[in-house]
């Protein structure tokens, strides 16, 4: 029982850190363009993040039962996975790098599962879903509806930021074309419409915060549900469970309401603290944003997240919004984006899964060697 409590506690610590680490995803551009003051932006993001976290469980089910073989892992596996993710989140937060909390968790979980299963059998690579339509579009839809690490994590890791960059570039170019057609140059019209775009950014920020909660908060829900499922079916922790704690028993993998509420409140609390180091990187340091850019970037990221969440894909909100910010910056001119900062971010993205996977693997291997 003590191990179960420890895993649940560490999972909520990860959720809190995820909140302040990824807070920048929803509000950095609004603060960078001065559409919202920092305090109002954080308060608004926490509220919408809370609402989003209570909306659906598709991503939670993917994380809890669609990436690793639950027959080959233990509670210690989950604990080590969480510790790997927490370590990397704190390191990247300290250096102001917008890395992915999602991939930190996924990497830690996969590495720990490999150690638990003594091989790669612990990872579900690809489990095809029923065919959806025909042709190229149908094949793509079927692939992303399938379970496993490849369709849910690896491929989206590369596709998401590219989609964010290209779509944001197109949306901004379209907005520029509309502004230029209103009897004036783009620059003049953009300057005169700043007030309107600042108001529209309030809407896009709210949507982005909602989608962040709807995707990111669910990942820890899946981990907690998996912990309770293992403790109920494969561990002796709940054998002598008092009647007043009967709600912890989870004989079938499911996301209980109390799990959703607890994770949602924890994520919102984390968001409310603000991740100022990463906010500065995304909102000010990488590209000098104007309200039209902030609106385009947030709207693009929200659209991509909406599509991914509907398929149960635990997408990296960090990758999507970072790609979108690069896309809107490139519409000004290529050197408007500080590519040196983008390069640092890219290296952090590339290293997230290997580093967290290695930490999860080593911690799990050590526990097994010690007989824990």
Q: For residue 210, what pLDDT is reported?
A: 92
Query: Closest by alpha carbon to 301, among 232, 204, 229, 372?
Result: 204
pLDDT score of 75 more than 70: yes
pLDDT score of 274 more than 70: no
Q: Predicted confidence band at 194 (pLDDT cuts at 50, 70, 90)?
A: low
- Of 73-82, 106-115, 191-200, 215-224, minimum mean pLDDT range: 191-200
Residue with tokens 């561990």: 235
How far does Cα 129 stand from its chain's mean position?
23
pLDDT score of 186 more than 70: no
Query: In whole angstroms, how far apart are CA 301 and each of 59, 68, 180, 199, 318?
Result: 17, 28, 25, 18, 9
206-227: pLDDT as tens digits: 998 899 888 888 889 999 999 9
Residue with tokens 């042709």: 135
Q: For residue 238, what pLDDT is reported?
A: 76
Cβ-Cβ contacts under 8 Å for 339 (sequence gap 6 or more): none
Average pLDDT over residues 258-287: 74
DSSP letter string over 238-286? TTT--GGGGGG--SS----HHHHHHHHHHHHHHHHH--HHHHHIIIIIS
21-58: pLDDT as tens digits: 776 666 777 777 777 777 888 888 888 888 988 887 88
102-121: pLDDT as tens digits: 889 999 999 999 999 888 88
Every domain of the chain and the residues it spans: 2-369
Beta bridge partners of 68: 123
């Amino acid at each position: 029982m003590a191990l179960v409590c420890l895993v649940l506690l560490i999972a909520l610590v990860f959720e809190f850190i995820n909140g302040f680490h990824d807070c920048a995803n929803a509000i950095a551009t609004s603060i960078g363009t001065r559409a919202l003051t920092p305090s109002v932006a954080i308060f608004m993001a926490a509220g919408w993040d809370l609402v989003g976290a209570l909306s659906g469980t598709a991503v939670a089910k993917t994380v809890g039962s669609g990436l690793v073989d639950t027959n080959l892992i233990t509670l210690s596996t989950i604990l080590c996975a969480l510790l790997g993710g927490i370590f990397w989140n704190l390191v990247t937060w300290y250096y102001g790098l917008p890395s992915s909390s999602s991939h930190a968790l996924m990497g830690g979980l996969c590495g720990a599962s490999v150690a638990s299963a003594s091989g790669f059998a612990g990872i579900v690579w690809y489990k095809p879903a029923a065919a959806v339509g025909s042709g190229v579009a149908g094949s793509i839809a079927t692939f992303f509806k399938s379970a496993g690490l490849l369709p849910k994590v690896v491929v989206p890791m590369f596709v998401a930021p590219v989609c964010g960059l290209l779509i944001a570039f197109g949306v901004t170019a379209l907005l520029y074309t509309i502004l230029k057609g209103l009897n004036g140059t783009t620059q003049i019209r953009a300057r005169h419409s700043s007030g309107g775009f600042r108001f529209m950014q309030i809407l896009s920020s709210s949507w982005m915060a909602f989608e962040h909660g709807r995707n990111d908060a669910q990942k820890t829900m899946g981990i907690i549900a998996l912990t309770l499922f293992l403790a109920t079916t494969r561990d002796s922790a709940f054998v002598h469970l008092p009647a007043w704690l009967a709600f912890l028993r989870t004989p079938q993998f499911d996301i209980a309401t109390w799990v959703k509420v607890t994770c949602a409140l924890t994520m919102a609390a984390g968001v409310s603290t603000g991740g100022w180091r990463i906010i500065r990187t995304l909102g000010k340091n990488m590209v000098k944003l104007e309200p039209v850019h902030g609106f385009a970037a947030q709207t693009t990221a929200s659209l991509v997240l909406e599509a991914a969440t509907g398929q149960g894909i635990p997408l990296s909100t960090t990758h999507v919004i970072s790609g979108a910010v690069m896309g809107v910056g490139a519409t000004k001119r290529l050197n408007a984006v500080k590519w040196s900062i983008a390069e640092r971010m890219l290296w952090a993205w590339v290293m997230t899964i290997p580093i967290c996977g290695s930490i999860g693997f080593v911690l799990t291997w050590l526990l097994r060697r010690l007989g824990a």
